[in-house]
Amino acid sequence: MVIVIPHKWTKRSIFWQLPYWKDLLIRNNLDVMHVEKNVFDNIFNTIMDFTHKTKDGLASRKDMTIWCDRPELAVDLEYVGKKIPRASVYQLTAPQRESILEWLVSLNFPDGYCSNLSRCVDLDKQTMTSSMKTHDAHVIMQRLLPIALKEMLPADVCGCITEISQLFQSICSAVLDAESLRRLEDTVPILMCNLEKILPPSFFDVMEHLLMHLPYEALNGGPVFYRWMYRFERFLGDLKKKATNKAHIEASICQAYIQQKTSTFSSFYFEREVISKRKRPAWNDDIGEDSYDKVVSIFNYPGRGKGAETYRYIVGGEMKIAHTYILMNCPEILPFYNEFRASLSAFPDDAIDAMVDSDFALWYQQQIRYRGINDPLLVSLSWGPSSYAKVWHSYVINGYTYHTVEYGEGRPTMNSGLCVPTIGSDNSETNFLVSCMRFSNFKCLLVCKN
């Protein structure tokens, strides 16, 4: 008996012989890292119209005449030129392309956030170089591309790109919301349809199709950082560095790997004072340098100065600002602070805040003296900080390194900006971006950059 199969899909995967294969929720885990990189390359190269990289070529436009009823993209089959006669709505002009590349060159990111993107841009050839890594595409796709294209492309084109960016942000979040992922499952097919109305068919390959499966896999597989290839790519990169003998690559990798594991195992038996790679402090290690225990809660945060240590005197208004800041951020002073504000309840909130800044430190010092309080902590806080302070150009705290504006000039990274929450006159919380001017031994002094 001959069975006639009406299609050519006759191969049955060997995995179906596994008894549990039919019950698996995720049979083929998609690598979000490479999917995001390929989708970004397709979008960015097509919008920027990079030669030999764009998915919108002359052959694609001629196919539109045969297969699609989209005259705004079609090119006559008899056209013999080398360039597309007219640009489309999703392509940037030469001045716009140049401005985006110059913007990427001028960007400065915090230390460790992204690589130096200026190395990935070739302004002379008006293109991106091959040195751009997958993580660079990850940052541009999720954080920069919607901002860069907002004022340069029509609303429908920019809206689709923004939705793709938000899709990857949702998938790559540390905490996933199941309800949001279910909504994404329903909206991603609509997003793909909207893209098909704008871009030519040659733009779409299997990578764009895989976007529809990402919400489902995130819903069933959990956070993506447990499943994508970043850690494995880094491990493979370490193994490649161990291939010192080109004649016996595998053997040299194995020998170097065994030596590394042996030395790591042996380091557990070293004396405590012996510094090994396993016990080496991290790059942004924020353990304080002082050996004594600080008794004031505001100074119990781990942190250390970095770089050359200098000294300066704190005089005038800086001393009052520093003293008031310390008092307002010490839980031990909270009863005095509430009492001071209660005594000014007849005044409006703006006036109370102004009087706190100008008079609270002096009022607290007088209360300690008049009430005869002998608590060493409260008495020492009433004296205020020392006028002779240590100063650094950088400070390490909470696993990050912050530096001053002057020290950061000419550097490829920007670590002088801080986001400081404040309470406005209407009791609403507002975030201000401030720049660090210098770091002193009691706290960093800031200058507001509204």
pLDDT tens for each residue of 122-163: 999 999 988 889 999 999 999 999 999 988 999 999 999 999
pLDDT tens for each residue of 245-286: 989 999 999 999 999 999 999 999 988 888 888 888 777 777
Sequential DSSP letters for 40-72: HHHHHHHHHT-TTT-S--HHHHHHHHHH---TT
pLDDT tens for each residue of 42-61: 999 999 989 889 998 888 88
Task: Say whether 335 sits in a helix, a strand or coil.
Answer: helix
Task: Say whether 421 sits in a helix, a strand or coil.
Answer: strand
pLDDT of residue 442: 47
Dist. CA 70–CA 48, nearest whole Å: 22
Query: How large is the angle between the packed helices 349-370 and 317-328, nearest 10 degrees?
Result: 90
> Residue 52: which residues within 8 A CB-CB, separation 6 or more?
none
Q: Domain locations in the chain?
A: 32-226, 301-448
Q: Label residue 446 by pLDDT band (50, 70, 90).
A: very low
Task: Say whether 39 sits in a helix, a strand or coil.
Answer: helix
pLDDT tens for each residue of 164-207: 999 999 999 999 999 999 999 999 999 999 999 999 999 999 99
**398 closest CA partner among 379, 383, 419:** 419
pLDDT of residue 447: 38
CB 307 within 8 A of CB 393: yes
Higher pLDDT, residue 265 or 85: 265
